[in-house]
Structure 1
Amino acid sequence: MIGLWQIVDRVRETSPELAGERLVSESLNLVRDMLVVGFKAGSSPYAPNGFKLWPNKDTDAIVEKIGQDWALLGRDPDLADIVWFLPPALNN
């Protein structure tokens, strides 16, 4: 599984000049690409009930929810924050 925090770190590593809204935007673009190729969004495996797939499967709605939750968080996501992704090979 891949946490949102790892995606943000990867975007930051590949484009260190990005910060603030540009970092959020590029990270959400990568999330969108992942969802399109079959990754599934779910709760953090560190949540009280563990990893559970989100019921909404609509890419735009998922990306919007992540963006809203990130804004409410008020900082870049960390290990247990917001969303994790199950790769296509593991979600059959």
Structure 2
Amino acid sequence: LTAYWENRQNIKFKSLIPSYQKLAQKQGFICPVCGESLFNDEPIQKHHKIPFCDGGNESYANLELVHYYCHQQIHSHAQNHLSEIENELSPW
């Protein structure tokens, strides 16, 4: 059974574009948000650790692969944090 899952993960890995393969290897094939395998049948997205608007770039050091829903959680949390800051700054 272990061999089956390893083979399945290997097939999914080979289907990625080369830049995603490099990122997946760098991460040990693990989503940094949930800690699960990147290859659990969820769509995978590229996430910028430092957004472009904050000076981020497309370097491998600034990129990570995350599951689609994990990516949504990252940006939902960032938006909630921004709303909290705006509320603190607003006089009413």
Report the TM-score, using the length of structure 1 for normalisation: 0.30
Q: Which has the larger radius of gyration?
A: 2
The structure with higher relative contact order (CA 8 Å, sep 6+) is: 1
Report the TM-score, using the length of structure 2 for normalisation: 0.30
Q: Which structure has the highest helix share of the two?
A: 2
